[in-house]
């Protein structure tokens, strides 16, 4: 069984919805189990992260970068870094914010650099950008046009039941599926 862990922070529930979609996509691949972990419970899950074949990182974008609680998790992971315990695991990332841009790319760059410090293998969305032509729509997959990781946007007055919208949740799901397939191939199981 190939194991994919999805570890995320969410202050108000929107990024949690995105994380659930990522885990759903990963778990949809045959022979793959997906585990969803909140950074609030990270201390109980270091062994699970060590056992995972792939780790997908996610956090909301706050003040143009990753949220504070997620950054605390990154700092705490230095223990695993010392022994390079996550070396050669597959990695990917996602982020959600209020604005269409909101400087989300900076958060994904932070996640990719973080994964590189752990000597992980970064996987992007592999999705062509949507909503970028006269035939496009906000319902397109990858409507925010991100290759580095999955982006989602949540209107600031919408509850997590309504935001992020279905297109962004589907984009998140496809990232999870892609990472699960990549992890299987990397492990020689597919
Ligand atoms: C402290 C703080 C800083 C924020 N900074 C940004 C930002 O830089 N760019 C942006 O587009 N949205 C920003 N937002 C909006 C959040 O990214 C947005 O509400 C998101 O959906 C929150 O996700 P969550 O419910 O998982 O915490 C910020 C929100 C908070 C609370």
Can you tell me which atom of ligand 1 is nearest the CA of 100? 11
Give 186: exposed, middle or buried? Use CB within 10 Å, 0-12, 13-18, 19+.
Answer: middle
- Assess whether the C-beta atom of 18 lies below 6 angstroms from ligand 1: no
Q: Which atom of ligand 1 approaches the CA of 101 most closely?
A: 11
Quick one: pLDDT at residue 188? Answer: 87
Q: What is the pLDDT of residues 75-101, one digit of tens each?
A: 999 999 999 999 999 999 999 999 999
Q: Is 14 in the pocket of ligand 1 (CB under 6 A)?
A: yes
Number of neighbouring beta carbons within 10 Å of residue 93: 30
Q: How far apart are CA 111 and CA 183, in angstroms?
A: 18
- The domain at 2-186 falls in which architecture? 3-Layer(aba) Sandwich (3.40)
Dihedral sign for Cα 115, 38, 17, 153, please. negative
The per-residue DSSP string of 41-101 comes to: GGGG-HHHHHH-SEEEEEEEEETTEE-HHHHHHHHHTHHHHHTTTTTT-EEEEEEEESSSS
Question: Which residue owns the Cα nearest ligand 1 atom 25?
Answer: 12
Low-confidence stretches of the chain (pLDDT beneath 50): none
Question: How distant, in Å, are the alpha carbons of 18, 99, 105, 162 from that of 157?
Answer: 17, 12, 22, 10
Centre of ligand 1 from the C-alpha of residue 138, in Å: 20
pTM of the shown model: 0.98
pLDDT given at position 63:
98
Judged on CB neighbours under 10 Å (0-12, 13-18, 19+), 41 is: exposed
Question: Residue 97 Cα, ligand 1 centroid: separation in angstroms?
Answer: 5
User: For residue 45, what are the β-bridge partners?
Assistant: none
Q: Does 100 sit in the ligand 1 pocket, CB within 6 Å? A: no
């Amino acid at each position: 069984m190939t194991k994919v862990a999805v570890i995320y922070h969410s202050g108000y529930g929107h990024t949690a919805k995105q994380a659930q979609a990522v885990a759903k996509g990963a778990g949809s691949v045959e022979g793959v189990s997906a585990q969803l972990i909140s950074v609030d419970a990270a201390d109980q899950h270091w062994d699970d992260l060590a056992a995972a074949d792939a780790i997908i990182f996610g956090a909301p974008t706050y003040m143009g970068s990753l949220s504070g609680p997620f950054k605390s998790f990154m700092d705490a992971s230095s223990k695993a870094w010392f022994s390079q315990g996550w070396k050669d695991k597959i990695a990917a990332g996602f982020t959600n914010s209020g604005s269409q841009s909101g400087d989300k790319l900076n958060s994904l760059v932070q996640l990719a650099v973080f994964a590189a410090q752990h000597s992980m293998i970064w996987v992007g969305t592999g999705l062509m950008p949507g909503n970028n032509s006269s035939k496009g729509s906000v319902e397109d997959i990858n409507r925010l046009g991100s290759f580095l990781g999955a982006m989602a946007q949540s209107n600031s007055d919408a509850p997590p039941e309504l935001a992020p919208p279905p297109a962004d949740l589907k984009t998140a799901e496809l990232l999870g599926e892609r990472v699960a397939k990549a992890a299987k191939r990397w492990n020689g199981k597919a």
